[in-house]
């Protein structure tokens, strides 16, 4: 039962995460968890334990990917500093982000519109589809990040050399944009036919494909850009302030020396002490006041 509950939770999380990213996160883990459950039913404990260890590894890898994606998306979506230009590799991503945000707004407008207003969205949907065209062509030009070969054992006295794979495989980033463009065309056709349900459904699918493009782009191509330093670099030539040094010279401390002696606290009289205790006790809950009163009375003796 516990194994089944874990698998169902993993399925739920996997569905939600993959609607957002499209990466297939936790899908392999869910499959292996189902296999482990079947092995437990067949009393094959050894094989079930081995499978669950594999699940543990895949979940760790998926969580690492998800954490990296979250960090990179946060950096990509943050506005650059005024004096810091957008890195060249992020120009396409920023442009698609703007279009995706506007398209998402139109999904909301379509859902809020009356059924007889559906046809009015056809022109805008066709426009969004046309905008995808140049983005698709630019995405085709992207190659995957540099993939390094395994290091070959060098000959004695020679350094190890790691060379990138040549040529680099294409990134295939255009796939999500092509899918989004197709959904926008179907949404426009639905709007033209005044089929509100079909139009909105395909608009939502287009928004999902655009979101997948953003996630894949950020995960593959984000490189942490060092920002400008907010404070000047420390100088190697440190010079102590002369005025500060003079404070430590003999005879430089001036002023009136405080009188010797000791001060004592004035002891409150019994009446003043009782009034103070009563004021303090008044702020406490009723059940604690009797305890506090007894404590103070014992303390005063």
| pLDDT value at residue 230 | 45
Task: Quote the CA–CA distance of 296 and 300 in Å, as a whole number.
Answer: 6
The secondary structure of 164-203 as a DSSP string is: B-SSPPB--THHHHHHHHHHHHHHHHHHHTT-HHHHHHHH
What's the pTM? 0.61
Q: Smallest Cα–Cα separation from 119: which of 21, 59, 193?
A: 193
Contacts for 204 with CB less than 8 Å, ≥ 6 apart: 107
> What's the number of CA atoms in the CB half-sphere (13 Å) around residue 270?
3
CA distances from 53 to 31, 32, 106, 126, 175 (A): 13, 10, 46, 50, 34
By three-state DSSP, how is residue 7 classified?
helix
What is the dihedral sign for C-alpha 109, 112, 116, 118? positive
Residues in contact with 183: Cβ distance below 8 Å, sequence separation at least 6, in sequence order: 202, 203, 205, 206, 209
Question: DSSP letters of 120-160?
Answer: GGHHHHHHHHHHHHHHHHHHHT-BPPP-BPPPPPPPTT---
Q: At what angle do helices 122-140 and 174-192 cross, to 10 degrees?
A: 170
Return the percent helix, strand and coil in the chain, to nearest 5. 65, 0, 35
Say what the pLDDT of residue 39 is. 83
**pLDDT attached to residue 165:** 47
User: Are the beta carbons of 233 and 241 closer than 8 angstroms?
Assistant: no
Q: How far apart are CA 120 and CA 113, in angstroms?
A: 10
d(CA 118, CA 127): 16
Phi, psi of 248 (to 5 degrees): -95, 5
Instruction: List the chain domain ranges.
Output: 2-77, 88-152+161-221
The stretches in the chain having pLDDT less than 70 are: 1, 79-89, 144-171, 222-301
Give dist(CA 289, CA 283) in Å, integer: 9
Q: 96 in helix, strand or coil?
A: helix
């Amino acid at each position: 039962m516990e194994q089944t509950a874990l698998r169902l939770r993993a399925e739920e999380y996997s569905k939600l995460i993959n609607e957002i990213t499209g990466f297939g996160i936790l899908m392999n883990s869910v499959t292996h968890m189902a296999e482990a459950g079947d092995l437990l039913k067949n009393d094959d404990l050894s094989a079930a334990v081995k499978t669950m260890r594999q699940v543990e590894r895949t979940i760790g890898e998926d969580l690492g990917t998800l954490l990296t994606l979250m960090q990179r998306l946060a950096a990509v979506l943050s506005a650059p500093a005024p004096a810091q230009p957008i890195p060249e590799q992020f120009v396409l991503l920023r442009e698609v982000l703007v279009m995706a945000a506007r398209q998402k707004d139109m999904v909301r407008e379509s859902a809020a519109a009356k059924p007889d207003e559906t046809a009015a969205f056809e022109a805008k949907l066709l426009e969004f589809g046309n905008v995808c065209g140049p983005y698709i062509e630019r995405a085709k030009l992207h190659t995957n990040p540099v993939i390094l070969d395994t290091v070959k054992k060098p000959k004695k006295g020679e350094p190890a050399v790691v060379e990138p794979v040549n040529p680099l495989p294409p990134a295939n980033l255009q796939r999500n944009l092509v899918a989004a463009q197709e959904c926008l065309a179907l949404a426009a056709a639905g709007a033209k036919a005044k089929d509100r349900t079909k139009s909105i459904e395909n608009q939502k699918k287009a928004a999902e494909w655009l979101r997948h493009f953003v996630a894949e782009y950020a995960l593959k191509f984000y490189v942490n850009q060092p920002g400008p330093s907010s404070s000047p670099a420390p100088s190697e030539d440190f010079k102590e302030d002369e005025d500060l040094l003079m404070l430590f010279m003999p005879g430089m401390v001036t002023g009136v020396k405080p009188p010797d002696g000791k001060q004592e606290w004035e002891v409150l009289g019994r009446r003043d002490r009782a009034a103070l205790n009563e004021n303090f006790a008044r702020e406490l809950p009723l059940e604690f006041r009797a305890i506090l009163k007894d404590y103070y009375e014992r303390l005063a003796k």
